[in-house]
Structure 1
Amino acid sequence: MALNQPHISRALPSLVATPRTAESEPNSSSMARQHNGAYRRMSGPVAEAAPIDRIARLPEVLLITGLGRTTLLKMVGEGRFPAPLHLSPRVRGWRLSAVLAYIEAREKESRDAS
């Protein structure tokens, strides 16, 4: 059952956008080509990029270390675990390298003690 509806462009001519042509505005693919070309000129080989030292939030740090929340925060307060970075007024995180260095130090202490 086909409904005969009036053309919206006739009823509301001010609300219908005029079609854009290639000359009036660049499309997204041409803009992407321009951007990618500029990016290739600016960037060097991938091998020169420094490794990223990720920030780990509390749940991930707890999972990596195997410690409980209360124990970990108590150790931070006592200075036995690296202090978190203050990323914003309510967000804290640890550099993954600091957490891994803590684990390696504990492993070394464990080997030296035995």
Structure 2
Amino acid sequence: MNKTLLTLAFVTIFPLTAAAFPGAQGPGSEDHQQPRIERLTQELQLTEEQKGKVEAIFKEQQDKFKALHEETHSKLGAVLTPEQLTKLDALKKQHRGHWKNKKGQAKSE
């Protein structure tokens, strides 16, 4: 049961971690959003007004992800033991490292 809960918590939290850390290079970060916005601007021929609105939409999405992550982490803190939270943090770091390695390999190919 605890293993299932820990796995569920990990699967729930990990996609949100990138959005929760503003300096991170994850899908929710501003560093990731800017090239995406530029690509959309070119491919869709967005006007400056549209580009501004798209930026606002992505910023709102990032803020919502961050709030959801914080809420989820708070709820897990009330359910999991301190040892389980420590293990969860270690799993997140391990998964983040694995993701960075995969991303690095994809760039080199």
Q: Same fold (TM over 0.5)?
A: no
Quick one: higher RCO (CA 8 Å, sep 6+), 1 or 2? 2
> Whose strand fraction is larger, Structure 1's or Structure 2's?
1
Q: TM-score, normalised by structure 1?
A: 0.28
> Whose helix fraction is larger, Structure 1's or Structure 2's?
2
